[in-house]
Structure 1
Amino acid sequence: MSSKGRCFHITTCFAATVLLLLLSTFSCEAQLTPNYYDYACPQALSTIRAAVRAAITKERRMAASLIRLHFHDCFVQGCDASLLLDDAPNIVSEKNAFQSFKSLRGFEVIDGVKSAVEEVCPGVVSCADILAVVARDSSEYVGGPTWTVKLGRRDSTTANKDLARANLPNATNDLDTLVSIFARQGLSVKDMVALSGAHTIGLARCVTFRDHIYNDTDIDAGFASTRRRRCPSAGGDCNLAPLDLVTPYSFDNNYYKNLLQEKGLLHSDQVLFNGGATDDIVRVYSANRAAFYADFAAAMVKMGDICPLTGAAGEIRKFCCYCSIAAALHFHL
């Protein structure tokens, strides 16, 4: 299957719908393979890895930012690099959705990776595949799990800001909302808790956790007081705080240990351990880093399978921020 539309094909017959969805999922996944570039661009993965390591060596925080880009991409139209498109005629960038605006970063790193890959294999490696590989390499480089990335995605020629607003979670979501958002992408409750563990690295802006540290009751008093020093009740929206105060730049399972102590920075973090259905999963991950790593890796692979464009669908962009036709016009001018 080569188009996303078939992934969401609807019929009036329930049995036919189930069958089509199952066939669609199998076909989408079957066209992705880890050795996709073995002959067309054997240097692709090593080129990407070198660029990612250089970027993270320069700024350790970048690892979290790059993992997040892949997540935000896959949750909107599938893993097709639609997130990377800038505003253009007939395109309203997903970067402007409120969950992403002034929050996502690392686009220049992706542009640099793409440029490096284009040098060795022009017009071969998609931006969507670059996002998937970059996320894996970022996790591994800061001590997190690694996994085999399936490849062969193509790049979209469209973006959907409204779908981004509807499909992406935000910092104020309650547990039921989070479960629903992930379920719409075919991801389980365990997948959701495991993927949330990416918050073991990175920083968050004051505006995303202010309500939690001032108004929520499921938060350690000392932790809230510490966070208020850098996040006033008014102003300072862009002041930053580590999602994991203990090891903010190392990928580990400390995120879950923090939740057990009511030291989750975001409301949407702490709801994972607040007397609900996910408490037991948090306990397991807090005590068993290997279990968390295995489930995180499996969930990342599963997320990477969300309705990719394959075959003749979409395109291979030369510049990740523009569709090929738009890029030709932009750089010609």
Structure 2
Amino acid sequence: MGINTLIICIVLVVLCSSPANGQLTSTFYNNTCPKALSMVRAAVKQALAKEKRMGASLVRLHFHDCFVNGCDGSILLDDSANFTGEKTAGPNNNSVRGFDVIDTIKTQLEATCTGIVSCADILAIAARDSVVELGGPTWRVQLGRRDSRNASLSGANSQIPAPTSNLSAFISSFSNKGLSTKDMIALSGAHTIGQARCTTFKGHIYNETNINSSFANSVKANCPSTGGDNNLSPLDVQSATVFDNKYYVNLQSQKGLLHSDQELFNGGSADSQVTTYSNNRNTFFRDFAAAMVNMGNISPLTGTNGEVRKNCRKPN
């Protein structure tokens, strides 16, 4: 075998053995926009100083983005003549928020390093910084995603897990995205912050038995059996603006606000992991950080695919 042939074979082996998301790296902007991460962190810190709930909203934006055709910033796109965006889909309409915070971050980054930092990466960084700002764990955000040029209303309606899902359906929806049951239970812990609309848990508090009766009655005061669909209640009744492990403690007392929450501790296969997290915050933090990295690796656009939008709300 000649030396040139040998070199070609080595290159092919390296290329073929590289992971599909190998282009993502935590140092992606070190040279092209070295201030990117500190700028996002400062903007998130400022947004949460105004409203702590925004932290949960920014985490949710990243989650709802990644579950629809991958982490590509598609959730940020407004409707256009060519497609209907994802903002009016059932899981998002009158629910997802934080778009103005992302707009502010994007404007600041464009002024500093034009056309470099993608909207999809901003979502990933902002989610991590929100968790940290509210007392949760940190992790190295993998970067280098590019933005899609279109969105999928049908995907948003069918691929985002529903709050009425049972455990098996919840496991399947995460498995379909390459995420394990362990990832799913850990990521559900994001519900230790934020609030939910009455319409998403009304059936659980009025029609189901796997819920603490006193807790259900306390929630009913702000969520009548008819009307009040947009009234809000905290997902974590103990500490809705602190990222901790109280969500899992609540589940053990049948104080999960959503049906899908309480399904994680209802005599099924998830009970053991919930118990572990309720007893050990550090274990939860470690697993949550790892799961967020895994979720951020769902089908990213890299290389020459997609684009880096100048305005997160519309394609270039």
TM-score by length of structure 1 reads: 0.89
Q: Distance in 2 between matches of 1:211 and 1:219?
A: 11
Within a 5 Å distance, the mapping from 1:35-114 to structure 2 comes to 35-114=27-106
Contact 1:230–1:241 (8 Å) recurs in 2: yes
Superposition deviation, residue 163 in structure 1 = 1.1
Determine helix, strand or coil for the equivalent of 1:95: coil
Superposition deviation, residue 112 in structure 1 = 0.6
Match of 2:308 in 1: 316
Superposition deviation, residue 299 in structure 1 = 0.3
Superposition deviation, residue 164 in structure 1 = 1.3
Give yes or no for the alignment of 1:32 onto 2:32. Answer: no
Q: Distance in 1 between matches of 2:196 and 2:285?
A: 23
TM-score by length of structure 2 reads: 0.94
Q: Distance in 2 between matches of 1:273 and 1:46?
A: 39
Match of 2:221 in 1: 229
Match of 1:122 in 2: 114
Superposition deviation, residue 28 in structure 1 = 3.0
Match of 2:210 in 1: 218
Q: Distance in 1 between matches of 2:17 and 2:45?
A: 33
AA aligned opposite 1:154: R
Match of 2:12 in 1: none
Residue from 178, 182, 185 that aligns with 1:193: 185
Residue from 243, 266, 271 that aligns with 2:258: 266
Match of 1:156 in 2: 148
Superposition deviation, residue 27 in structure 1 = 3.8
Contact 1:218–1:270 (8 Å) recurs in 2: yes
Q: Deviations over 1:83-142 (max 9, x none)?
A: 110000112111111011111010110011111111111110000000000000000000
Superposition deviation, residue 26 in structure 1 = 4.6
Superposition deviation, residue 263 in structure 1 = 0.2
Q: Deviations over 1:219-253 (max 9, x none)?
A: 00000000000000000011110001110100000
Residue from 111, 114, 132 that aligns with 2:124: 132
Q: Distance in 2 between matches of 1:272 and 1:25?
A: 36
Aligned length: 302
Q: Distance in 1 between matches of 2:16 and 2:27?
A: 22
Determine helix, strand or coil for the equivalent of 2:97: coil
Determine helix, strand or coil for the equivalent of 2:265: coil
Q: Distance in 1 between matches of 2:260 and 2:103?
A: 31
Superposition deviation, residue 25 in structure 1 = 10
Match of 2:10 in 1: none
Unaligned ranges ≥5, structure 1: 1-22, 325-333
